[in-house]
Amino acid sequence: MNIIEETISVKTHNRNEMIDITSQVQSVISKSGIDSGIAVVTCPHTTAGITINENADPDVPHDILLTLEAMIPQLRKGYRHNEGNSDAHVKSSLVGCSEILCFLNGKLHLGTWQGVFFCEFDGSRNRKVNVRILG
Ligand code: ZN
């Protein structure tokens, strides 16, 4: 088995934001020269996440963020964590910080409307995403 790892840099501009990183993940797969296998996409942050959802209509990530913000307010009586970003930690755990993707003949095997998103919950920041290719 071949294993290749690369780090993608992601600059976020808003406190809550979903950034489509599908093309960057595909680029790591293409550069690896590995024909088929899996790509493990992880973010090493406790206030961000990785998810797969629709990247055709920008209203979809908007509505996901709107729903998360309604469910998990930034200010809430009872939060103890003194950095003021408890909501971001909760969102990170709910969304998760990784996805496992299959690729075949050098191409990500995603549904027609699916894309890979980096989810920022405590921006703006400079973030990292690790992509490990196994094949
Ligand atoms: Zn914190």
List the domain boundaries for the chain.
Answer: 3-134
12 neighbors 96 (Cβ within 8 angstroms): no
Ligand 1 centre to CA of 33 (Å) is 39
Ligand 1 centre to CA of 91 (Å) is 12
| pTM of this structure | 0.96
Mean pLDDT score of the chain: 97
Ligand 1 centre to CA of 56 (Å) is 32
Give the pLDDT of residue 46. Answer: 98
In CATH, which superfamily holds the domain spanning 3-134? YjbQ-like (2.60.120.460)
- pLDDT tens sequence across 95-111: 999 999 999 999 999 99
pLDDT confidence band for 73 (50 / 70 / 90): very high
pLDDT confidence band for 92 (50 / 70 / 90): very high
Alpha helix ranges (H) inside 44-97: 59-71, 86-95
